[in-house]
């Protein structure tokens, strides 16, 4: 009889341990599901934030391109004026004939 009681006690202990492990596994699954959902939400928020930042940076880059393009055009125009002035000065001082200004401007634009 003691053997049967011992076996039943061991069996009940194993069943109790199994039930405890199943409950623990359920809690871990719930926790992992909650953590997964939280991480997905955080990733979604971060993606939206980064998309906004990227749009802002692209806008800034576009503005800088426009500004630099204008400055480059202004420098090219001033360079053409300077070359023409230098050619006039050389022609006046050294007697060198002036270059064709239309050809000069076309060469600078290319």
| Cα–Cα dist 71/81, whole Å | 15
Mean pLDDT to the nearest integer, 15-24: 86
Q: Which of the two residues, 101 and 36, has the higher pLDDT score?
A: 36
pLDDT at 63: 93
What pLDDT sits at residue 60? Answer: 94
51 token code pair = 């998309």
Place of tokens 């060469």: 107
Mean pLDDT of 29-54: 91
pTM reported for the whole predicted model: 0.45
Cα separation, 90 vs 84, whole angstroms: 10
Instruction: State the total domains in the chain.
Output: 1
Q: Which two tokens stand for residue 70?
A: 């204008």
Note the pLDDT tens digit of each residue in 53-89: 999 999 999 999 999 999 999 999 999 999 998 888 8
d(CA 19, CA 13): 10
Determine the structural domain holding residue 41 and report its residue range. 2-109
């Amino acid at each position: 009889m003691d053997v049967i009681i011992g076996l039943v006690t061991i069996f009940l202990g194993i069943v109790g341990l199994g039930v405890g492990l199943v409950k623990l596994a359920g809690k871990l699954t719930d926790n992992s599901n909650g953590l997964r959902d939280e991480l997905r939400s955080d990733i979604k928020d971060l993606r939206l934030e980064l998309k906004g930042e990227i749009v802002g940076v692209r806008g800034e880059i576009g503005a800088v391109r426009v500004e630099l393009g204008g400055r480059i055009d202004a420098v090219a125009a001033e360079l053409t004026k300077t070359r023409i002035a230098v050619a006039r000065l050389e022609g006046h001082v050294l007697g060198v004939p002036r270059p064709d200004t239309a050809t000069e401007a076309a060469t600078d634009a290319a």
